Amino acid sequence: MPSIRNAALRAGLLAVCAAVAAMPAAAQVQLTVRPLAPPETFYVADLVPGGSGARPDLLGITLVADRVGQTVSLELVVSRETQSATEIFRGTTNPFVLNQSVRQITMRDLVSRGRDVSLTDFTVNDDVIDGPGGRGGRLPAGTYVFRVTVRDSRGEPIDTDEVRVSVTSPTRVELLSPGGPADASPPEVQGPTPRFIWSADGAAPGARFRLRVVQVDATAGTAVEALQSGFPAWESIVTGTSAFYPASAQALRLEPGGTYAWQVTRELSTSGGQDVVESPIYWFRVGGPGAPGAASGTLQLSFNALLRALGLTELDGFTPVGATLEDGRPLSLDKLEALLRAIGAGEVSVLDVRVR
């Protein structure tokens, strides 16, 4: 027969086991972070809660709880991964209750005022803002890591997730041709359909540029004044870094002897909305047809249009001054012009192209 002491000990152990079995399992919350609209550039100010301007929606955060009614909090850490890795921003929310098994939160919720998930305590790395490339809070190009952690009511981490966002952060657009800077005399350009060429840093697929060409007349005596107030001879949105002046009703004809100014602006998607980067201003003067044997304006339009249609862009800028048939017979410029118009209208097919 067991002793009274052993019986009491077994009873105590059974009570402890029963108490342990009655304790609930630790609450579980699964966290998932996904990028919503990765921008070309973003600003530290867009991460600071309660700032002015449009609030960004960079991230989507999903919380899946195994039990409704849990109290949790979130922590957001933003770090630069490339070009001298460093932490940029760290912020936390007050504790809030998960009243649903699935809770969707966006970056806009975190940085807006008065929400249960608003960031209330944060620190910013001032060296990043004020240092080289910070540009008043505009972060330089690189890869940035956004890490989110969900914590329980005691501040212990439950789950964490992160995403990487590559930022090109364009800062400049440089013009190459035609013409030259507006603070010098306008160079002369031959032909009514010049090719506009520029370059840009951080160019990404689908980057959008706005090209604007304005005539400089007696009313607008300078290139700057013309672009500020003049009616555009041509304006277009371009996704590359070059464009031919159209030989069609899309644009006004560039008049021989006329002076024209042009500028390109880069349209950026930023964490706080749309922004632009402006190029310098260039201008040029259109040369007349005065060279002996030079083709008429109509002929040159047809010739340039044919070159582009045939993909012979390496001949851009050449002007036809004569033509010869395959058998050696000369072809007048009038007949050449008619032939080019017929090719452009589809009345004559081009079977072979040879450049000699």
Domains of the chain: 15-167 (2.60.40.2550), 173-286 (2.60.40.10), 297-344 (no CATH)
Percent of the chain with pLDDT strictly greater than 70: 65
Q: Is the pLDDT of residue 9 over 60?
A: no
pTM given for the model: 0.58
CA distances 338 to 116, 141, 198, 247, 300, Å, are: 74, 53, 34, 17, 12
Whether 164 shows a pLDDT value over 80: the answer reads: yes
Question: Which carries the bigger pLDDT value, residue 95 or residue 290?
Answer: 95
Residue 293 clears pLDDT 60, i.e. is over it: no
Contact between 160 and 33 under an 8 Å Cβ cutoff? The reply is: no
Q: How distant is the alpha carbon of residue 76 from its chain centre?
A: 25
Question: Does the pLDDT of residue 346 top 80, yes or no?
Answer: no
- Residue 98's DSSP bridge partners are 70
Least confident piece of the model among 120-129, 203-212, 215-224, 332-341: 332-341
Q: With contact defined as beta carbons under 8 Å apart, do 273 and 42 qualify?
A: no
Beta strands in 85-137 (DSSP E): 86-93, 96-98, 102-106, 119-124
Above 80 in pLDDT, residue 73? yes
Report the length, in residues, of the chain.
356
Contact 31, 150 (CB under 8 A): yes
Average pLDDT over residues 18-39: 69
Q: Show the tokens assigned to 121.
A: 């305590």
Determine the pLDDT at residue 13: 43
**Beta pairing partners, 212:** 235, 263
Q: 133, 126, 273: which is closest to 202 by C-alpha?
A: 133
Report the range out of 4-8, 65-69, 279-283 with the highest average pLDDT: 279-283
Q: How far apart are CA 193 and CA 303, in angstroms?
A: 10
Sequence-distant (≥ 6) Cβ neighbours of residue 325 within 8 angstroms: 331
Taking only Cα atoms into account, the Rg of the chain, rounded to an integer number of angstroms, comes to 34
Average pLDDT of the chain is: 77
The more confidently predicted of residues 46 and 254 is: 254
324 or 31, higher pLDDT? 31
What kind and span of H or E run contains 7? helix 4-22
- Answer yes or no: are the C-beta atoms of 336 and 320 closer than 8 Å: yes
CA–CA distance, 135 with 132 (Å, rounded to integer)? 7
Q: Which residues contact 11 (CB under 8 A, 6 or more apart)?
A: none
**DSSP character for 185?**
P
Q: Is 309 or 228 the better-scoring residue by pLDDT?
A: 228
**How far is the CA of 69 from the CAs of 8, 28, 165, in angstroms?**
40, 12, 33
The predicted pLDDT at position 99 comes to 92
